[in-house]
Structure 1
């Protein structure tokens, strides 16, 4: 069974056609520690992982071209697609595992993920390396939860559900990709600013302003949008003052998920811009950013890169 691609999947493929090294940017690496009340053997756990992967047609898919369009063909899987390894070394560093050391290729018609199940001193760890073409960060929680549900015997998502969610997602993109209202909103947002064609953060990085390693606590009474708006406003105005720039664009991913496709495992996210201007004070900046974040959520399934290619370079992305 073949599937059409989302805008981000299309863009990944086109980018690799012009730059084979681009894949190094799009390898996503995850490490999960499995905690379950059911005492299953490692082979049973592996079978649960394989079952979840087999139920998700995009994750096991292979990129291809058909009638001048980028498509995803269903790949064939075996149980051995999930390696098993037992280690006794308590000092092993999972980040150095071999499955994380090689990039993927979209144009070679090869699987776009590698998975390993490791038994380390009685604890089970799942290592997953996957190309962003078939998996985004919003897929991560869904994938992990489906594995846990299957192990615990509460799995309800079947292959038919996954196909239905994928078709729903593609249908939403077809209907809303050219959203005229979205084009107007974003055109107004960009009014009066030049296109972004270089990295405006380079000097800021050289001065060491991006060493944010501690957690930021903003209280429990704020919504996620309010918290994000405060952080972006504080960071953005500090950057603009230090670099003497008039404005900046920060990319903020939008999941393109609704209650009808919340469990989908694919790459459907689109990164939309948030404009921060030095002419605003902190409160004005906060209000503007919050409005833009809420607008962005209403722009789900809009094909941003097709209609605004001059504003698709985001040196920094806020997740």
Structure 2
């Protein structure tokens, strides 16, 4: 019997192998501390903490678009290639959504730097891998499943405006997970390939936990700084100043000023955003009210 035949015979069924891999990840996550399970998702995030998480996520999306794009030239599997092309576009869209949301909160990415653990985990390890299986195993299995867990933990603990952004991202994350599952089902067919996939998945898991603990360290620094000087209102809530509010389109950045209205669309000056008809559209990009968030005041 050839070596290849022996490897095929000793390998698990790829679908069973994938399910066992995911079950192992779930069991290991269940055994973690609250801080390790989610990026701050076990408690309500104050304004400064929320902004720090958004900046981390914005950086992560940009990094993912870059390293996944770098895989394309060396991805011979046609269906995986097409899926990764879509994923690059998704990560770019997520980056823009979060960046626009940050700007609506009165901040941006200028001057922000990642922790060393994040660089080792995302920029270096995820970007590496000898072939499609190793790359997708690390990121689209461990990474994307971890991201979905983090989002699930955060959704009840963030303002409505942030929740609306996450709800636009989550369906794409589900596709990324399914892409990783498909790649394993089709190509992790030998004992050697399954061993390499398992090694990448578990190494990614260990680096992920170091990254999450580094985020807790960063949050503690943010809390200490915020306790001394943050007196701004919580995200998504206007200060009681009597002034008109401004709302920003998360797609194109156009701002609706309640004092100005949108006369060209029949919305007179002084019209509160909540009083605009539901069928009104952004004058610049034609999205609906659902794509606007309150500009911080």
For this structure pair, what is the TM-score category when the shorter chain's length is used for normalisation? under 0.3
Q: Which has the higher contact order (CA 8 A, sep 6+)?
A: 2
Q: Select the structure that is richer in helix.
A: 2
TM-score by length of 2: 0.26
- TM-score (norm: length of structure 1): 0.25
